[in-house]
Amino acid sequence: MSDAPARPDSETRRLLEPRRLLVQVIFWVIGLGLLTWLIIRAIETGDWSRLRAAEPHLIAMLIGATVVSTLLNGVTFWISIRSVRRVRLLDMQAVNLLGNLLNYAPIRAGAIARVLYHHRVDGLGLLQIGAWFGFIGYILVLGVASCLTATLIHDAFDWIWFALVTGQMAFGALALQALAGVPLIVRHGRGIHRMARDHLALWSLVVLRLADIAMFTVRMAAALWILGIELPMTHIVALAMVALAASLIPFGRVGFREFCVAAAGARLGTLSIEGDLPWEQLALIESAGEAVVFIVGGSLAFFWVRRRWREASPIRP
């Protein structure tokens, strides 16, 4: 098979329009400025001796939660596309790791790399990929919204809170299944109706998303406990959901997520804790627990993805 690069079709070229890339670079610079400000604040106000003296099991929680979360997301992508196209789980895990690493780049290169990879290697159309990502994104937003809504309704981490979360998730999944049967969606949804009406895929995604939310919560709790900050469990979940939602900001991963976590932490802290606490330091430690895994894992995954890319036949317009 030829290793020659594929000539980009019109849909692919739209992903790389200079105006779109310029906007992403501008916001990446803004995010870098926010990150720099947070680092300066953390150095001035944070007690870094707590991090140096952190219990090993807390560091293991911080890193391990990211490893499990990353693997869960790879399985999520794999299960959700199997009703449309057969792909290998190891390939999906590698692409997921590399995509997360590339999201630190100025142009949110991870999303672009995912699209180009699945277009060339798996033979998926751009609109089909968009429908697939939209399906996964819906379940993700549903999970975040369910947790935040449950916390607003019942600010206690008990069976009622769990019932509210699972009930909303189940209702949202059933609503998606019903919507997927609409003839217009069937005709123009590029296969998303098959994903949504695949009971195993849909309900597996709901379970995987809940497990992923749990891992975000574990990582946030570990970062809080390293700094000696005690918050109610529902507030820890809310902070984790802020981190999860902010990581999806389309302008890049750098800065914005950490700023949102620090701001939300300060707001939640005033509800349950008196005095000033190092929320900027919390945001940086929680984010670093993820970055370590993505940098190491994504760097190793690059070689696997490059080999699969070279083995694939170029997509011709």
The predicted-structure confidence for 239-262, as pLDDT tens digits, reads as follows 999 999 888 877 767 889 999 999
DSSP H/E element including 78? helix 56-81
Confidence of residue 74 (pLDDT cuts 50, 70, 90): very high
Query: Quick check: 7 pLDDT over 60?
Result: no
Could you tell me if 219 and 239 are in contact, meaning their C-beta atoms sit under 8 angstroms apart?
no
Q: How far is CA 34 from CA 38, 223, 251, in A?
A: 6, 20, 13
pTM of the model as a whole: 0.85
The burial of 254, by beta-carbon neighbours within 10 Å (0-12 exposed, 13-18 middle, 19 or more buried), is given as buried
Ranked by mean pLDDT, the top range of 100-114, 207-221, 259-273, 274-288 is 207-221
Average pLDDT over residues 211-215: 94
- Summarised one tens digit per residue, pLDDT across range 168-211 is 999 999 998 888 776 766 666 556 667 777 788 889 999 999 99
Nearest to 146 by CA among 62, 68, 234: 234
**What is the pLDDT at residue 196?**
73
Q: Where are the domains of the chain?
A: 19-24+55-309
For the residues 110-137, what does the mean pLDDT come to? 86
From the list 311, 297, 310, 316, the residue with the least C-alpha distance to 95 is 297
C-alpha closest to that of 289 among 215, 213, 221, 223: 223
Q: What is the total residue count of the chain?
A: 317
Confidence (pLDDT) at 65: 96
Q: What is the DSSP letter of 248?
A: T
Judged against a pLDDT cut of 90, whether residue 291 lies above it is answered with yes
Return mean pLDDT, the chain.
Answer: 85
